[in-house]
A and B are shown apart, each in its own frame.
Chain A
Amino acid sequence: MSQATATAVEALPASTRRAAGSAGDRVFEALCRGAGVFVLLLLGAIIVELFIGGWQAFRTFGFGFVTSLEWDPVQEVFGAGVPVYGTILTAVLAIILAVPVAFGVAFFLTELAPEWMRRPVGTAVELLAAVPSIIYGMWGFFVVVPVMARHIQPAIIDTVGELPVIGWLFEGPPFGTGLFTAALILAIMILPFIAATMRDVFEQVPPVFKESAYGLGATRWEVMRGVVLPYTRTSVVGGIMLGLGRALGETMAVTFVIGNANRIATSLFGPGNTIASLVALEFGESQLGSLKLSALLALGFILFVISFIVLAISRWLLRPRLKG
């Protein structure tokens, strides 16, 4: 985000140099520069504000706040370990579930689909991204969770859960909610972002490359694997990171289905929590100036840092394509 803004600000003088002297251009330049700088300042202010708000928690618990697994509002002992674990686990699981499907969608749209189907299906995928997250949350709670609780989870617990080595990943009572359900909903939510990015970059592969490969007798899959993927690799990874960024910060949909327990569950069907969900749930009843409020703001700071790193990596990987 910040890098894009920075490029915009740098690019301005170059384009306005020719018309230097005109008052209108100078005003325009100042306005645009102001807008660019404003976003940077806003971003900085949010980070600083979150850090100041969370300072009390950081000071009380030290660096251990980030890793501590305790979250006890009664004893006023707070740690970010459980929500950080839940946030990263659900986001990574969501990526694992979403990427193959997104790849399939993008491959179908660019290589296999007949021309008349490409636009409607592409639009449908993009519309999925516009559904508000509360809708996904309610759909998850009223439709997905009962199905998980009655059919999918009992079946998996009774079969895979009995296996010796990986069984512990799938044990416990079938609540229907839990880390896995949250990851599933997240996967559906980030699917359109990843699929749209992949489709765009696949379409940018110069046709002559693909035609050459076809001319050599390569199959579609061989063209995809040998030409398209190597050509677009960094952009594809960037798109995945974009989806990851969204999965990390998602709040409402996750709150409905994750089970909201501040414990580390080894089982994927066990309840957990994410940073965004915990902050949303606990914020309402936190007293002004309390250690709990400070801990919640500190959690917000940690989430900001994680999201910032992920988005920065994604921007960096997508840079060649964005410039083009």
Chain B
Amino acid sequence: MKGSEPPFLLNQHVGERRVNRRSLLVAATAATTVPLFGRTGFAQQAQITGAGATFPNPVYQKWAEAARPAINVSLNYQSVGSGAGQAQIRNRTVDFGASDAPMSAEQLQQNELMQFPTVMGSLVAIVNLPNVADNQMKLTGEVLADIYLGKITKWNDPRLVELNRDLNLPNLAIAPVYRADGSGTTYVWVSYLSKVSPEFKQKVGVGTSVRWPAGTGARGNEGVAGTVRNTRGAIGYVENAYALQNNLVSTRIRNKAGNFVRPTPESFSSAAENADWSVPHFAADLIDTQGADSWPIVSPTFILLPMNPQDPERSRNVMRFFDWAFQNGDDIARQLEYIPIPDKVADAVRQAWTQQIKSGGQPVWTASR
């Protein structure tokens, strides 16, 4: 065991804190090199700045790298957390804000912001049980909610045995592990549990951090994964990308159609296709969607853009950047285990840009540029 742990430490590529550190480095490098470049011949390169959610940070950084030569727009994105991102765009200290949880309609109106999705991510449940391999265990949302409520406390509980007749479940205490730091990941996870369990909704509710009736907390995705690894009988939740890259044991979960689905790109895309994107402000609910193959815990992440930009040129460049990403960034997103948004949604976003973001009464974004 001792031998296997140090690589685990080194191999985290998508863990939020690690990413934070990397993004800091990127930001620092950008801050020091870009002005230099500006003086030595890259003067036309347009600068845009953004701040917010940590979850989409890896894909935004990769997009920024690829878009720089393609459309001559240089993005400086700081992953400071959704809450801080919302605060920064409210004060207009950045060109765009990024948030995992959608802003409410009133808040958007009050702050004169428009919001659109960029990519989606998914959560998986991970377990540490003897003789249980990846995607073997079957769980339902109701059972997960009762585990996190502290009502199901043993792995050989009749309800778990009922779902997993083929597994020999031990008489072992269940140790639920949750994110101790406020995070969008927790927001999505409790949104799911609240949607499938009225009791969970009433007793715990939805937020970036909640009052957990049972279990132990760990810091960041890597903290949850590490605690689950260390504790026999533990169960936790992490982003799918994180589970894949660290070879964690995920479970199947029963979706709304009643099928036990595996966490695969197909099941994530199915959830995206089946969601209703025509809701105001694109605040689509991708939790527990219809569809035979849909993975039940999928969530989009959002960009917040001022409707009356102070500097229309910079705002236009933000839109050029994301337009480029919608057209050319799907492969990069998939490589990093994100789910690109469907093309029809991207088209609707472009339409919303034209309609909502105006400077002096004229739309800032025109399809022809």
Residues of A within 8 A of B (CB): 70-75, 141-142, 145-146, 149, 173-178, 255-256, 259-262, 271, 281-282, 284-288
Q: Using Cβ atoms and an 8 Å threshold, which residues of chain A touch B231?
A: 149, 173-176
Contact A255 B211 (CB under 8 A): no
Contact A256 B223 (CB under 8 A): yes
Known: A141-B226, A175-B216, A175-B231. A71 touches B83 (CB 8 A): no
Q: Using Cβ atoms and an 8 Å threshold, which residues of chain A touch B83?
A: 284-287
Contact B217 A271 (CB under 8 A): yes
B65 at the interface (CB under 8 A from A): no
State which of A71, A74, A142 has its C-beta within 8 Å of the C-beta of B204: A74
Contact with A along B204-223 (1 / 0, CB 8 A): 11111111100111110001
Contact B81 A281 (CB under 8 A): no
Contact A285 B209 (CB under 8 A): yes
Interface bracket on B: 35 or more
Q: Using Cβ atoms and an 8 Å threshold, which residues of chain B touch A149?
A: 230-232
Q: Using Cβ atoms and an 8 Å threshold, which residues of chain B touch A259?
A: 216-217
Give the 7 A-B CB pairs with smallest separation, nearest first. Answer: A285-B182, A260-B217, A260-B180, A74-B205, A72-B211, A259-B216, A271-B216
14 pairs from A and B in contact (CB 8 Å cutoff): A72-B211, A74-B204, A74-B210, A141-B226, A142-B5, A174-B231, A175-B175, A256-B223, A261-B216, A281-B180, A284-B81, A284-B181, A285-B82, A288-B87
Known: A72-B210, A281-B180, A284-B182. A142 touches B9 (CB 8 A): yes
B122 at the interface (CB under 8 A from A): no
Q: Using Cβ atoms and an 8 Å threshold, which residues of chain A touch B181?
A: 281-282, 284-285
Contact B230 A176 (CB under 8 A): yes
Residues of B within 8 A of A (CB): 1, 5, 9, 80-84, 86-87, 173, 175, 180-183, 204-212, 215-219, 223, 226-227, 230-233
Known: A74-B206, A74-B210, A284-B81. A173 touches B180 (CB 8 A): no
Grouping DSSP codes into helix (H, G, I), strand (E, B) and loop, the A interface class, with mixed when no group exceeds half, is: loop
> What residue of chain B has the Cβ atom nearest to residue A265's Cβ?
B216
A3 and B322 CA atoms in complex are apart in Å by 58
Contact A261 B182 (CB under 8 A): no
Q: Using Cβ atoms and an 8 Å threshold, which residues of chain B touch A174?
A: 231
A262 and B213 CA atoms in complex are apart in Å by 9
Known: A176-B231, A261-B215, A261-B216. A285 touches B208 (CB 8 A): yes
State which of B204, B211, B216 has its C-beta within 8 Å of the C-beta of A260: B216
A297 and B181 CA atoms in complex are apart in Å by 16
Contact B175 A73 (CB under 8 A): no
Contact B210 A261 (CB under 8 A): no
A74 and B186 CA atoms in complex are apart in Å by 12
A125 and B5 CA atoms in complex are apart in Å by 28
Q: Using Cβ atoms and an 8 Å threshold, which residues of chain B touch A255?
A: 180, 219
Known: A73-B207, A73-B210. A281 touches B223 (CB 8 A): no
Chain A nearest CB, measured from B69 CB (Å): 34
Chain B nearest CB, measured from A147 CB (Å): 10
Known: A146-B230, A176-B231, A260-B218. A284 touches B84 (CB 8 A): yes
A305 and B181 CA atoms in complex are apart in Å by 25
A281 and B17 CA atoms in complex are apart in Å by 12
Chain A nearest CB, measured from B175 CB (Å): 5
> What residue of chain A has the Cβ atom nearest to residue B182's Cβ?
A285
Known: A142-B5, A142-B226, A176-B231. A261 touches B205 (CB 8 A): no
